[in-house]
Copies of this chain bind each other. A is one copy, B any other.
Amino acid sequence: MISDANLKRLPRENVETYPVRTPSQRPELATVEIGLNAAIVAVIDNEPMVLVVRETGNDASSPEGLPFGPFAPREHRTLEGGLRAWVGEQAGLDLGYVEQLYTFGDRGRHTDPGDAAPHVVSIGYLALTETSQIEDPQRGQWRSWYHYFPWEDWRKGRPEILEAEIYPKLREWAERPVPKGAPQRPVSREDRARICFGLDGTAWDEEKVLERYELLYEAGLVEEARRDGREAALSWSPAPKFGALMRYDHRRVLATAIGRTRAKIKYRPVVFELMPPDFTLFELQRTVEAILGPHLHKQNFRRLVEGAGLVEPTGDVKTRTGGRPAKLYRFRREVLLERPAPGVRVKPGRVV
């Protein structure tokens, strides 16, 4: 099952050839444009949602994108400050929890139909908001993040799109000869597809959201690859378009955001950024499951959350749950002042 061919080092990026430059010369810093993008996440009715906007003035058929804006160093002292300003304005939201995700700079992955494709370095951010705080966003709307990544939705078991569409295409791609111009990868296409997408009995790792998207992009199986003129995308006919397109490289940013959220929820108490002030433990569990995938053991989940001191009862109960009333809890913010505050430590991906 495991081929260890060409396994010498951890995967590294394509090795390019570099122009020789005299080291003694003072490096001249080249200027580029910086785009700040935010994946703003909320859980609404047990559905993980992300806020998307359509560029003003464009028709309804233009692809959606994340709220974004340029970084104007004269106006904003910090990157995050610039982000909060743009998003506050574009989406009509005051962001609470914000964290930087990653900085993307690949040439040719920030194109937009009609753009002259200037070189843009895009810095992705993740923001978590709670439903009760959401005023109606002025522009833009909430969409399930699974709208863009249907293969990530394991809440009803393994998504059909995997067996029916993605796996066959990936296997076909893996068997093609690797073009000469392409980077020499230390891991074979077959192994990469197997590890990312859980083929051949390999476990599905719900954190590898970005890796999966990037693999689909490389294989030309998402629309962005075709838009960017990637060779692999032109080889399919009809062109498979898995998940909904986003503008620029925003789907990549969103993939990073989902992966980071899934990872972080397990070791930092960030779920509570998505919860209203008071909640039942089962509501908390549903929120975790919306993000990670379902089927957590209810009793053990309670034990873990209570045992870690993450919550405290408010004293009230919530009736009309359909059964026995549920105690209401609130987040114990003091845990942030205590030793390394844990997340909801749940074993992921036990769905088959």
Contacts and interface: CB of A to CB of B under 8 A. Distances in A.
Contact of A4 (B88, B97, B334): B334
Interface residues of A, number: 85
A333 B7 contact: yes
Nearest to A270: B10
Contact of A23 (B72, B73, B89, B270): B89
A78 B249 CA distance: 14
Interface in A65-120: 68-81, 84-86, 88-90, 96-98, 100, 102-108, 118-120
Contact of A79 (B73, B100, B103, B202): B103
A97 to B, nearest CB: 5
Interface string A245-282: 00000000000000000000000001001000000000
Contact of A203 (B2, B26, B90, B340): B340
A80 B270 CA distance: 30
A332 B15 CA distance: 24
Contact of A85 (B18, B76, B106): B18
Nearest to A68: B27
A261 B97 CA distance: 25
Interface string A52-67: 0001110000000000
A44 interface: no
A18 B81 CA distance: 9
Given A29-B70, A118-B29, A340-B203, A16 B81 contact: yes
Mostly, the A contact residues are: loop
Contacts of A98: 12-13
A32 interface: yes
Given A27-B69, A29-B33, A105-B73, A12 B97 contact: yes
A337 interface: yes
Interface in A1-24: 2-4, 7-10, 12-16, 18-21, 23-24
A339 B203 CA distance: 6
A195 interface: yes
Contacts of A29: 33-35, 70, 118, 120
A57 B24 contact: yes
A338 interface: yes
Given A27-B69, A71-B30, A73-B30, A121 B79 contact: yes
Contacts of A19: 75, 85
| 9 nearest A-B residue pairs (beta carbon) | A29-B33, A18-B85, A79-B105, A73-B119, A29-B70, A31-B31, A7-B333, A103-B103, A30-B72
